[in-house]
Amino acid sequence: MRANRRFFLAGAGAVAATVLTGAANAQDVIGDILSSPRRGNWNDQFDASVSQSGGKVASHLPIFSPETVFYIEQAIGQYSNIVAQGGWPTVPASKKLKLGVVDPDVEILRKRLMISGDLSTRAGISQSFDTYVDAAVKRFQARHGLPADGVLGKYTYAAMNVSAPVRLGQLETNLVRLRSMSGELGNRYVMVNIPAAQIEAVENGRVVLRHTAIVGKIDRQTPILNSKINEIIVNPYWNAPESIVRKDIIPLMRKDPQYLTKNSIRILGPDGNEIDPATIDWSTEDAAKFRFRQDPGAGNAMASVKINFPNPHATYMHDTPQQSLFSKLMRFDSSGCVRVQNVRDLVTWLLRDTPGWSRQHFEQTIKSGESVPVAISDPVPVYFTYVSAWSTGDGVVHFRDDIYGRDGVDELQISAL
């Protein structure tokens, strides 16, 4: 903790310096853009230091850390100066700009990327979408949680044309959120960032695992919560929540009376005995008073594993048989629980200190098909949070879609386009 206090003391001076000198720096950047040479042709030598003016986007720094708080404070100073100098230009969104294109709109794109720090002013202004611009666009996309393909499509344009004042406000909103989580979180913990649809497993102040996630739909939101992961269930049964019975299963049974049988879902009465679906009137919602339980197996909604932790929302993390969903750009598809890509890696890490549960034994248990609950000997803290903007280093500022509209500005809900 002494090191962190020293970090903050040094950081306070750095933030002050950023605010005092930033206006001049921002003016210099814009001045450089206006006076830069007409460069950027195909015969230019590629130089990574020209195409990327900031640090690497990828980082092992956790979102919940004192350093992240300092970096977002620094970013607020930088974005305040960008706003004071008039922000950045709007890039016309009528064309699919990509590597090899020569178009007047590329000049505007270059200026936009220079002001946000994704492209060095030394790359110059030209109409060529060259390797410099390609690398800068990919950097911008990575910072915004978009596929880093270098192609300007619908969502890249939308993220790029959010105004500088709105981005500044987003940073200020999220600084408050990050400060609220600046206490002792535990030597090992799991953090689920809902708008990023991403999971961090953190140990000794370093991200050791990152997992792509699928979180709740807008009308079935994943809740904010703090708890401790205390149980892993290998080959779990799935008990359908009443909301899913009403919204999904009953309508599906009306269309296909064999739906439950095809999906190995059983109806259990209050006494635990199985009820024949044919005895239920599916034109009503009477079925919602019963328990719907899906047998373990490949088609189970939670697939191979369920991660439990006490909470009042009946929320948990789990595997999924629908692995293709992880490749979607907007991964807001669940009914509130969190699906985890490569979940077996996370479970192996969680069970590391639980005797008898090596990776090999875990995999063998999955193959057995038997449902086995495993108590974690040292429960691991888990935090479900909502952070849509943060910074992991000088010049590396991350923004994500404000999926649930909690930042208060409609244009930040890019997924609603």
CB 254 within 8 A of CB 283: yes
Q: In the numeric block, which tokens belong to residue 81?
A: 């100066």
- From CA 366, how far away is CA 343, in angstroms rounded? 13
CB 232 within 8 A of CB 377: no
CB 127 within 8 A of CB 106: yes
Contacts for 251 with CB less than 8 Å, ≥ 6 apart:
none
Radius of gyration of the chain from its Cα atoms, rounded to whole angstroms: 25
Task: Tell me whether residue 318 is one of the annotated catalytic residues.
Answer: yes
Q: Is the alpha carbon torsion for 281, 283, 289, 291 positive or negative?
A: positive
Q: Which of 211, 318, 361, 398 is catalytic?
A: 318
Q: In the numeric block, which tokens belong to residue 138?
A: 């990919």
Instruction: Using alpha carbons, select from 377, 370, 303 the residue that is nearest to residue 343.
Output: 303
Q: Which of 211, 337, 361, 398 is catalytic?
A: 337
Q: In the numeric block, which tokens belong to residue 35?
A: 């006076």
- From CA 392, how far away is CA 39, in angstroms rounded? 31
- From CA 74, how far away is CA 377, in angstroms rounded? 40
Q: In the numeric block, which tokens belong to residue 291?
A: 């328990």
Residues assigned a catalytic role: 318, 337
